[in-house]
């Protein structure tokens, strides 16, 4: 009988995989499951751990193999963006895992079921603290406050001006998609104020261990299957604008004020949103080396400093007064 069944790519280096239960000692006791030895192992009363790939057991036997295992762990097959390794056979595996509730129940913690958990729960860095009117901030490291003290971040300054509590969902290196997604998941209510800090649009999402992550397009090992020209393409730029429109529509429906604060983009948002009442453009200060110029720099000599954050807060507060 099969106790735990690990399913990975055909060329998976299991011995050096770093999986706790596949230590040097246990590895020698683990059997490579194939189409040739499956019948014997499945009929044996002894429980054994097995390693396999979809190619080893073949599609026609896949459902039978999954049904015979007490525990199933998916390793390394769906971790990254689609590649040549993400073959049709792996899609067949995903299909069978989704189709059978009996199989899904066997998929272990930190394996496939984590994907469902991460998609279904809010995954917010901070929840709404109470029912009081709230200022929501979301963006990248600039909105997070990298390079300045917590009391110098524009969100904190704006919160004091508005005399309201603040929830800052921003995180370093995040994309526009991520920032908007955080706000759409948040418990924003009628009367709240939302500020979206527009980051550099050349950022992207990739799947790692069933978690969708975002980062700047500066990591070549993660970009091997993405053409760098894509980030400046009309497709990516237009998609970015659509994310912003989704947020505007969402806030309008629930009665929340929304400010689209362009902190870093020098491409399309100054053109597409210039006539939107809640748009505030900070690229008008100037451009240095193809980046938005700041009034001063923070402690890391890279991100905006206290003067720039005060400028952010003052200008956003002014715009909020204008839109009523």
pLDDT tens per residue, range 79-129? 433 444 445 556 666 666 666 555 656 666 555 555 555 554 456 768 889
Tell me the pLDDT of the chain averaged across its residues. 82
What is the model's pLDDT at position 89?
56
3-state SS string for 63-96: HHHHHHEEEEEECCCCCCCCCCCCCHHHHHHHHH
Please give the structure tokens belonging to residue 91. Answer: 């899609």
Q: What average pLDDT does the segment 279-292 reach? A: 87
**251: pLDDT strictly greater than 90:** yes
Q: What average pLDDT does the segment 43-63 reach? A: 82
Nearest-angstrom CA–CA distance, 260 and 248: 9
Residues 6+ apart with CB under 8 A from 40: none
Please tell me whether residue 5 adopts helix, strand or coil conformation: strand
**147: pLDDT strictly greater than 90:** yes
Please give the structure tokens belonging to residue 54. Answer: 């979809």
Question: If residue 225 lies in a helix (H) or strand (E), which one and from where to where?
Answer: none
User: Which of the pair, 214 or 101, is modelled with greater confidence?
Assistant: 214
Contact 149, 112 (CB under 8 A): no
Listed range (11-20, 144-153, 206-215, 250-259) with the worst mean pLDDT = 206-215
Please tell me whether residue 134 adopts helix, strand or coil conformation: strand
Phi, psi of 17 (to 5 degrees): -75, -20
Across 100-227, where does the E strand assignment appear? 134-138, 165-168, 193-198, 203-208, 211-216
CATH topology of domain 134-323: Rossmann fold (3.40.50)
Nearest-angstrom CA–CA distance, 140 and 305: 15
Q: What average pLDDT does the segment 6-23 reach? A: 71
Assign 302 a pLDDT band (cuts: 50, 70, 90).
Answer: very high
What is the model's pLDDT at position 120?
47
* Burial track 168-178 (b if 16+ CB lie within 10 A, e otherwise): bbbbebbbbbb
Domain ranges of the chain: 2-120, 134-323
**189: pLDDT strictly greater than 60:** yes
What is the model's pLDDT at position 236?
86
What is the model's pLDDT at position 90?
60
What angle do helix axes 154-162 and 306-323 make, rounded to 10 degrees?
Answer: 40
Listed range (26-35, 46-55, 195-204) with the worst mean pLDDT = 26-35
Assign 241 a pLDDT band (cuts: 50, 70, 90).
Answer: very high
What is the model's pLDDT at position 80?
39
User: Which of the pair, 40 or 12, is modelled with greater confidence?
Assistant: 40
Listed range (59-63, 209-213, 232-236) with the worst mean pLDDT = 209-213
What is the model's pLDDT at position 219?
56
User: Which of the pair, 247 or 6, is modelled with greater confidence?
Assistant: 247
Phi, psi of 251 (to 5 degrees): -65, -40
The β-bridge partners of 195 are: 137, 259
What is the model's pLDDT at position 52?
85
Residues 6+ apart with CB under 8 A from 204: 175, 214, 215, 217, 223, 226, 231
**202: pLDDT strictly greater than 50:** yes
Listed range (85-89, 227-231, 261-265, 289-293) with the worst mean pLDDT = 85-89
Q: What average pLDDT does the segment 275-302 reach? A: 91
C-alpha count within 13 angstroms, C-beta hemisphere, residue 254: 19
**182: pLDDT strictly greater than 80:** yes
**13: pLDDT strictly greater than 80:** no
Name the most confidently modeled range: 17-26, 113-122, 173-182: 173-182
What is the model's pLDDT at position 10?
75
């Amino acid at each position: 009988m099969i106790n735990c069944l690990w399913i990975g790519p055909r060329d998976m280096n299991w011995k050096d995989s770093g999986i706790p239960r596949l230590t040097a000692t246990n590895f020698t006791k683990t059997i490579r499951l194939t189409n040739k030895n499956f019948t014997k192992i499945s009929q044996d009363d002894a429980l054994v751990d097995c390693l396999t790939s979809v190619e080893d057991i073949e599609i026609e036997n896949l459902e039978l193999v999954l049904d015979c295992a007490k525990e199933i762990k998916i390793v390394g097959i769906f971790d990254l963006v689609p590649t040549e390794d993400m073959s049709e056979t792996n899609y067949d595996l995903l299909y069978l895992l989704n189709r059978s509730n009996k199989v899904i129940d066997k998929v272990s913690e930190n394996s496939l079921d984590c994907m469902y958990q991460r998609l279904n729960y809010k995954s917010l860095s901070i929840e709404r603290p109470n029912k009081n009117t709230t200022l929501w901030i979301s963006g990248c490291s600039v909105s997070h406050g990298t390079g300045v003290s917590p009391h110098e971040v524009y969100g904190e300054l704006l919160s004091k001006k508005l005399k309201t509590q603040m929830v800052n969902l921003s995180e370093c290196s995040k994309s526009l998609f991520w920032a908007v997604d955080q706000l759409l998941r948040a418990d924003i209510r009628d009367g709240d104020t939302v500020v979206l800090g527009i980051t550099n649009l050349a950022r992207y999402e990739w799947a790692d261990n069933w978690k969708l992550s975002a980062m700047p397009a500066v990591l070549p090992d993660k970009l091997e299957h993405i053409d760098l020209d894509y980030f400046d393409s009309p497709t990516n730029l237009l998609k970015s604008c659509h994310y912003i429109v989704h947020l505007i529509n969402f806030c309008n429906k629930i009665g929340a004020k929304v400010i689209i604060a362009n902190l870093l983009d020098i491409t399309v948002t100054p053109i597409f949103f210039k006539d939107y009442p809640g748009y505030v453009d900070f690229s008008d200060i100037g451009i240095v080396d193809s980046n938005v110029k700041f009034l001063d720099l923070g402690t890391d000599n890279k991100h905006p400093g206290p003067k720039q954050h005060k400028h952010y807060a003052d200008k956003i507060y002014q715009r909020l007064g204008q839109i009523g």
